[in-house]
Amino acid sequence: MARNTPGDGPDNRPDDSPDHGPGEPPLPGLPPRRTGVWLVGARGSVATTVIAGCAAVSAGLHPPTGMVSETAPFTTVRLPSLASLVFGGHDTATAPLLKRAEELAAQGVLPARLPAAVATELTRADQEIRPGGPQHGDTRTDEELIARFTRDLIDFRQRHGLARVVVINVASTEPRPLPGAPRLAPSSLYAAAALRARCPYVNFTPSTGLHTPALTEAAEASGLPHAGRDGKTGQTLLRSVLAPMFAQRALAVRAWSGTNLLGGGDGAALADPAAAAAKNAGKERVLADTLGHTPEGQVHIDDVPALGDWKTAWDHIAFDGFLGSRMILQTIWQGCDSALAAPLVLDLARLVARAHEAGFRGPLPQLGFYFKDPDGGPASLADQYTALLHLADRLREAP
């Protein structure tokens, strides 16, 4: 596989190279600092909610609930505005975004009248979605697919005169590739294309993405900021709050079991045991990193198609108290997966774009607040939020 254009190395010095490569001037007469957000899985529930939600908040139709980037510590960081975001993406699905939004509204995921209110924005974004791959029967090599995806990204940036494009993977979870697999995982094909097109990259899924030896050298040489992986939206978010409580109060956790009931595309994808194993690895890592050991118990994921985009997560925690007293804590989390994920995706798009503008390079462990399996940094949500605030301070001071 051909390497992307090398950067100056994975240090933290600013990248003085232009946002547009040779022969890629921004189109005249367009507003400054427009930022592209390229969604892998662009016609899925999460992406549809991201695009519709961004339009709704920009128009003042709904408040930015769940968006940390809209809270006081971040409003002075000079993040790209929601109105300046331009959406595009890759997907193997062909159903129009407006139709998908109408389906989500029928399920109660989106407000009933929202698809009609933001139909123009959904249609505009839908026109920027390009065929993904590999599709069934696709005979293209990895190199051919990466080259195609790279051209799509560069064309998107050029046509809209964008300052930069952040690539975010929100596609369904894929199984982990087997050792010695002859081809890259689909998520890694998109990640490789992001590197070649000099686009910052975010992996909001547990899929492989940049986490493969085949892309390690290219990622380091690119000097591009990247973050991931696996967005922390529900059960693991709660675990990252509760596990430190047990550790800090010296309460011995003996067992921690969990069950997830979910439908929609995620439910179908995670019915595959290999995909479920990739998903559960991040959930278990939070406990091991915080408690210092892996307690007994497993997480089970059940596909319940009737639930659609809604999910229920149940946890059963067995722990010891003073003098060996046996105790139990049980929690139930019921929520809408897309509505939980969408504000985080918008946060990450804006924060990573600003980090790229400020010259940040390589992995961004300060964004661990958003991920089950982050690139380093602390494990507890409180400590991760502190690291995020420190990032905000650095971005505020950066040119």
Q: How far is it, in rounded angstroms, from Cα 209 to Cα 226?
A: 11
Q: Which of 291, 307, 335 is the last residue of a domain?
A: 335
What tokens were used for 360?
């940040």
Query: Which helix (H) or strand (E) element contains residue 129?
Result: strand 129-131
8 DSSP assignment: S
Answer yes or no: is pLDDT of 23 > 60.
Answer: no
pLDDT given for residue 9 in this prediction: 33
Residue 47 lies in a domain: yes
**106 with 215, same domain?**
yes
**pLDDT, tens digit, 9 for 90 and up, residues 59-100:** 999 999 999 999 999 999 999 999 999 999 999 999 999 999
**141 with 219, same domain?**
yes
Average pLDDT on 185-194 reads 98
**pLDDT, tens digit, 9 for 90 and up, residues 153-179:** 999 999 999 999 999 999 998 988 988
Residue 25 lies in a domain: no
Question: Which CATH number characterizes residue 70's domain?
Answer: 3.40.50.720
**153 with 115, same domain?**
yes
Tell how far CA 274 is from the center of its chain: 20
Say how many domains are in the chain: 2
Q: How far is it, in rounded angstroms, from Cα 201 to Cα 194?
A: 7
Residue 21 lies in a domain: no
Helix (H, G, I), strand (E, B) or coil at 318: strand
What whole-number percentage of the chain has pLDDT above 90? 74
User: Where do runs of H (alpha helix) occur along 83-197?
Assistant: 97-106, 114-117, 119-126, 142-160, 186-196
Residue 26 lies in a domain: no
**300 with 362, same domain?**
no
Phi, psi of 366 (to 5 degrees): -65, -15
Q: What residues make up the domain containing 250?
A: 235-335
